[in-house]
Amino acid sequence: MILYRRAGRPWPRSVDGPWDWPRIERRARIVRRAPCALTVTPAWGVSAAPTTAGAFGRGGPWEVEARDIERAYGPDRTLHVSLEEFARTLTVLRETRERLREGGVPRRAIPTRVRAARRSREDVAFRRAFERFRAFDRPNVLHLFTTFAPDRGFAREFPRAVQSGPLWPRRFSPRPAPRRRRAREWVWYASPASAERIAPSVVAGLAGVRPPIHLYVRTPRPWTVPFPADRVTIAVGPVDAAEWNRRFARAELRIVTGSRTLLEALEVGGPFLYFNGVLGTGRRKRRHRPEKLAALLDLGRRNGVAAPLLRDLSDFGRGRRVRSVVSRAAHRRGAGARVPRAFGRPAFRAPLDDAGALIVRVARALGRQGGGAAELVREVRAGSKG
């Protein structure tokens, strides 16, 4: 894998992470070694699209590099894979409702606000902006919206979007049953700013458990809530990747967030909880970006996953019943029970069931054909519609 940045252009801060990168080669100039090129970019329309006239027309931070590659290989011999946000496959109506909910509009007022948005054609403006800033007009960009199950409404509204199964980290093998008794430890990737709000309840839920459970908290943010060092370890900032992977793999339970650690937890198998943050307080408290957990819970319901497990996952994600859910999990009930592998089976048929395998398939087809990127994108789009 090659990471290209034109000579003399500073690297974006986010590149250096710290991330546990796959094996890559950094280059400052393009050396053609094949007739075609395939790029992989997060949200190509935001991060690599060219500058355009009009409001919000500034190009992405990888605009120059994307242009360089197309000039070197030619547009129809360059295929851009755009990795869109995981599980964010909402119709315009659902997106409007979610935007209002996330913004703090009371639930009872949302229907009125939605009707007002329709009268003012705000929904039409959103659809046009989404299509523009996702660069759906680019024929050689394959927009992959990875998720657990396809959304037919989203497919109808945005036919150029390709929905597929997750891009699995492939970092962990399924965890075998433990052969010997060892110290109990939970790990928590506490990325959300509101993690500290529920942390006391998490620790309280572990109190009195025998044998005791140690909680290892990894957070990129300054941590202010103190806990006894013999019960809780707080690791602030970068953590050695190998050490973290070992802890994550052997943990009795994992508290995860976002999409990456959620998929890793599913990949390892075993009990987990999910918390992506909450906003507001009291009756105004609401989940932050809940679509990933919501998609997982929907998949679980369709696969007959036990209702107590789903209820515990849902409530913990809302920051509700935290102490009770943790205590139940520590005693191996509810979310601490065996997690079925059905959670990890996306509701897609091959070759759309695995985004990583799909990208490899597309890359090989592009290489065999020696070009035809736009036609290949059209074929994948058509195949994704069934």
Identify the pLDDT of residue 334. 79
Identify the pLDDT of residue 263. 94
Q: What's this model's pTM, rounded to 2 decimal places?
A: 0.92
- At 264, the amino acid letter reads E
3-state SS, residue 292 = helix
10 Å CB burial of residue 73 (0-12, 13-18, 19+) is: buried
Identify the pLDDT of residue 198. 97
> What is d(CA 29, CA 97) in angstroms, rounded to the nearest whole number?
45
> What is d(CA 195, CA 275) in angstroms, rounded to the nearest whole number?
8
Q: Quick one: fold of 184-344?
A: Rossmann fold (3.40.50)
Question: Which band of pLDDT confidence, cut at 50, 70 and 90, is reported for residue 18?
Answer: low
Question: Which band of pLDDT confidence, cut at 50, 70 and 90, is reported for residue 216?
Answer: very high
> What is d(CA 202, CA 238) in angstroms, rounded to the nearest whole number?
23
Question: Which band of pLDDT confidence, cut at 50, 70 and 90, is reported for residue 1?
Answer: confident
Whether 108 shows a pLDDT value over 90: the answer reads: yes
Mean pLDDT of 33-41: 95
User: Which H/E stretch holds residue 372?
Assistant: none
Mean pLDDT of 337-361: 85
Q: What are phi and psi of 236, to 5 degrees?
A: -100, 130
Whether 364 shows a pLDDT value over 70: the answer reads: yes
Identify the pLDDT of residue 130. 96
> What is d(CA 139, CA 334) in angstroms, rounded to the nearest whole number?
47
- In tens, the pLDDT along 4-15 reads 999 999 988 777
Q: Going by C-beta distance under 8 Å and a sequence separation of 6 or more, which residues neighbour residue 3?
A: 15, 24, 25, 26, 27
Mean pLDDT of 123-129: 95
* Alpha-helix residue ranges (DSSP H) falling in 85-228: 92-102, 110-119, 122-133, 152-157, 195-206
Identify the pLDDT of residue 274. 97
- In tens, the pLDDT along 218-254 reads 999 999 999 999 999 999 988 888 899 999 999 999 9
Identify the pLDDT of residue 146. 97
Which of 218, 221, 222 lies closest to 185, judged by CA? Answer: 218
Contact 218, 256 (CB under 8 A): no
Mean pLDDT of 258-279: 94
Q: Could you tell me which residues are beta bridge partners of residue 78?
A: 37
For tokens 């996306």, the residue is 346
Which of 54, 79, 40 lies closest to 365, judged by CA? Answer: 79
Q: Sketch the domain layout of the chain as residue ranges.
A: 2-84+134-166+350-384, 92-130, 184-344
- In tens, the pLDDT along 295-313 reads 999 999 988 888 999 999 9
Question: Which band of pLDDT confidence, cut at 50, 70 and 90, is reported for residue 333?
Answer: confident
Identify the pLDDT of residue 173. 73
Identify the pLDDT of residue 177. 53
**Low-confidence winner among 200-209, 217-226, 233-242, 278-287 (lowest mean pLDDT):** 278-287
- In tens, the pLDDT along 137-186 reads 999 999 999 999 999 999 999 999 999 999 998 888 766 555 556 789 99
The percentage of residues in the chain with a pLDDT greater than 70, rounded to a whole number, is 95
Expressed in angstroms, the distance from the first to the final Cα of the chain is: 31
